[in-house]
Chain A
């Protein structure tokens, strides 16, 4: 029996891409562990391997190599036992649009082995809990996206699973619906003594929900820890200077690299980021240095480090950027 509710050890998975093309290494030695009763976030851009990880842990897919246990059970040796202990909320809506919300919940509960009256009670309780009881007996196809997503999470919880997988739970929701769902997920994990594995490419979502998180990049864990610790590792403030274009940014990063009080200078597209112990006091020096060389500044900000900075630091590129930037110095 594992002391962890989720344990992934050196998972590897390769997808063939067709003749002549190199295969895609979706997972390339991914490992992490999740303590019981906590929310663990897998954070990374599309294609980092988050969803592949969830599919393997939820018994939908098999790893080429490596081992994984969920709720103490090996996913490859005994997938049936795992399926009784998990709930899966996949990226896409997972309710039946031609059934009512209540019917969806009752069917999911019956499939998981609850008897008729327990299934009805649990469905009614979850509908009330998620604030969707008013719509319970309407067909789901008439529901809003936010309500349907709450139903998806409720369906994942209907059999009181030990581990809940939330694969990008708020993608495509408007900000209000996201905030509501976050609040609900937070409350439910506290009340149901649940372990949650959350994947997201929203930094604020990971920051808000996860007790610990791993930044996943190119199929492996780039860095792992609590959101606060990861942010604290980036000492001081983050200086972010926006330049006119990439060429200007290259010249700027070379220019400010040697300035006292600045460290970890990174160029990303047409912007330059650096860390500073001294916070705002370094800004005039940076401006002076750049104007001396005739490099115009579009904007400059100083802020506490965000998870985006953590991501940039460990994955070597920003979430927002699609091209691969280069690290100038560290």
Chain B
């Protein structure tokens, strides 16, 4: 068990060092969320005046911020598997698989690194939203729940991306599948629009969409006076799915090894 933890730490530190050497990469991953936040925040400013939108108070920017945070987590995490594919194309994956490193540690190492990246991105998006004029009454509790839900969503999506990487073994296939999943997940949720104004089937989809779980938990707590009966089940579902996805993704190492 201790080897699992130390090996996970070594492997996530490898990625952290690489990121510190290329800080530009972090900046690039933040360009898209900034466009969503600042451009769409302005463009659709007036949707909050549609009768029945949200709780009726607050700006669209405040409504949108939890959505953009979840989208940022989703889009970044969906790229996680590209590291595995680069490792496969070099001999790094083969070397690690022929070493005493546990498969679980190889998975946890990347998931921990992705979570760390997600925390940094979430904080930056929150700060930019506040500078742009958003005010969150939820305070520390709201920020903590937002960070936790972004992390859990990241683990779910990064595990999925890693699993796809191990099975598809091609950068193009991974990117294609990720794009195919990311946009529907974003729009079949309350990330940028109040689903009570959307058709019923979209509301139904959103209920089973992990991205929506993260958005709802974050939005409820950030905007203040949360309805905890909406927050807790979604956090629990995110945590449960994160564990299941990490375990399933670790098993796909077997599928990869059968192919080599």
Contact = CB atoms under 8 A, between A and B. Distances in A.
Interface of A: 55, 58-62, 80, 83-84, 86, 88-99, 103, 107-108, 110-113, 139, 152, 155-156
Nearest to B95: A94
4 closest A-B pairs by CB: A94-B91, A90-B91, A98-B18, A92-B91
A93 B10 CA distance: 20
A58 B98 CA distance: 6
A83 B91 contact: no
B99 A108 contact: yes
B94 A83 contact: no
Contact of B10 (A98, A111, A155): A111
Given A99-B14, A99-B17, A111 B260 contact: no
A86 B92 CA distance: 15
Given A94-B90, A96-B14, 14 more contacts: A59-B97, A61-B260, A83-B100, A86-B98, A91-B91, A93-B91, A94-B91, A98-B21, A99-B14, A99-B17, A107-B14, A108-B99, A113-B100, A156-B95
Contacts of B22: 98
Contacts of A80: 100
Contacts of A55: 94, 260
B89 A83 contact: no
A111 B7 contact: yes
B95 to A, nearest CB: 4
8 contacts: A60-B98, A83-B98, A94-B91, A94-B94, A97-B90, A99-B17, A111-B100, A139-B21
B101 interface: yes
Contacts of A91: 91
Contacts of A92: 89-91, 94
Interface of B: 6-7, 10, 14, 17-18, 21-22, 89-92, 94-101, 257-258, 260
Contacts of A98: 17-18, 21-22
A89 B91 CA distance: 8
Contacts of B10: 107, 110-111
Nearest to A156: B95
Nearest to B17: A99
A122 to B, nearest CB: 15
A83 B101 CA distance: 9
Contacts of B99: 83, 88, 108, 111-112
Contacts of B95: 88, 90, 94, 108, 155-156
Contacts of A111: 7, 10, 96, 99-101
Interface centre among B7, B90, B258 (most CB of A within 10 A): B90
Contacts of B89: 92
B213 to A, nearest CB: 34
A92 B91 CA distance: 5
Nearest to A52: B260
Contacts of B6: 110
Nearest to B88: A92
A252 to B, nearest CB: 45
B257 A94 contact: no
A94 B94 CA distance: 8
Contacts of B7: 111
A60 B253 CA distance: 10
B31 to A, nearest CB: 22
Nearest to A93: B90
A84 B99 CA distance: 7
Nearest to B94: A90
Nearest to B100: A83
Contact of A60 (B18, B100, B257): B257
B18 A95 contact: no
Contacts of B21: 98, 139
Nearest to B21: A98
Contacts of A60: 94, 97-98, 257, 260
A42 to B, nearest CB: 17
Contacts of B100: 80, 83-84, 111-113
A62 B95 CA distance: 16
Contacts of B94: 55, 58, 60, 88, 90, 92, 94
B98 A88 contact: yes
Contacts of B91: 88-94, 152
Interface centre among A91, A98, A107, A152 (most CB of B within 10 A): A98
B161 to A, nearest CB: 19
A87 B22 CA distance: 30
Contact of B92 (A61, A84, A94, A113): A94
B179 to A, nearest CB: 25
Contacts of A108: 95, 99
